Structures are given as C-alpha cells and as structure tokens.
Amino acid sequence: MSEQTERRRRAIIAAVRRIPVGKVSSYGRIAEIAGIPRGAREVGRVLGQLPSGSDVPWHRVLNAAGKIHRPTDSAGGRLQVHRLQEEGVVIIHGKVNMRSFAWQNSLDEALWGPPVDLDDESI
DNA sequence: CATATGACGACAA
DNA sequence: ATTGTCGCCATAT
C-alpha cells in the first residue's frame, strides 16, 4: 500500500467520522470532502476493509440515491439498517430521503446554521 | 501490460 | 421510478 493511498485512507476515515448522529452522507460526497474527486469507489473499498469492531460510523454512508448499497439480506446490510433507525434516520422502501437526512446539504444549512443572535434587537 | 472487479455515480430511455 | 450503460479508479490476477 503506497503512502499516497494511506493518506487518502486516513482522509476518508476522518470525513466519515464527521457525519453527525442522525445524518447520512454518500460515498461520492465523502470522497469530495476527503479531497478525492471521483473517489466514490475508493470510499466503498476503505469502508469495506474496516475491522469488524471499528467505531467508525460506516453505516451513515449510503449511495448517491440514498439507498443502502449492500444486500439487505446480508448481515452487514441488516446491521446498517438497524443502526440508522436507532439513530432516528427514516428509511422508506429501502431508501433514505437525502433532502432531509443528508449531512451538509442546503436544507441542513438553512435549518441549523447560521446561528441566530439572541441579543439582536432587529430580530 | 491486459482484464476483471466492486460498500459508486451520472445520465438516457 | 427503474433499469441499463458507461465512466471512473484502486487492486487483484
């Protein structure tokens, strides 16, 4: 494994760790955040290589359509669904509404940032 | 070096 | 909404 590859791996892990509880992201988006344009497949590969007991929240990463890419009848697929629901993520017909649950989307910004100034008299 | 593979993504029907 | 095709990119053979 090259040094560059290892650097990208760390960047991917770091980006995934930033996804808040109750939110999700996509392989492609995580790749961008990690500074790897068109690196969606690499993100999937890195997550697939995580040790089983890892504390990295890999379950918060879905494909661009908001669907769980892994087979839902597999152990990993069921675990992912279970963890997401535990965190309050709503899954309908096997997919998540990214407009509501995607981390760092425009709606997210509108709802959670920027913070309001409670001392501002003009409000 | 040529091919195949896959936890991907964009786009056309 | 679904499905098929093609492009992408690190790895494996």
**Positive or negative: CA dihedral A79, A48, A17, A89:** negative
Return the pLDDT at A114.
64
Nucleotides of C under 7 A from a protein CB: 2, 7-11
pTM of this structure: 0.88
| pLDDT digits 0-9 by tens, A17-30 | 999 999 999 999 99
Amino acid symbol at A99: R
Are the CB atoms for A24 and A102 separated by under 8 Å? yes
Return the pLDDT at A3.
82
Q: Which residues touch strand C (CB under 7 A)?
A: A 1-2, 5, 37-42, 45, 93
| pLDDT digits 0-9 by tens, A25-83 | 999 999 999 999 999 999 999 999 999 999 999 999 999 999 999 988 888 999 999 99
Separation of A31 CA and C4 C1' (Å): 25
CA of A31: nucleotide with nearest C1': B8
Amino acid symbol at A13: I
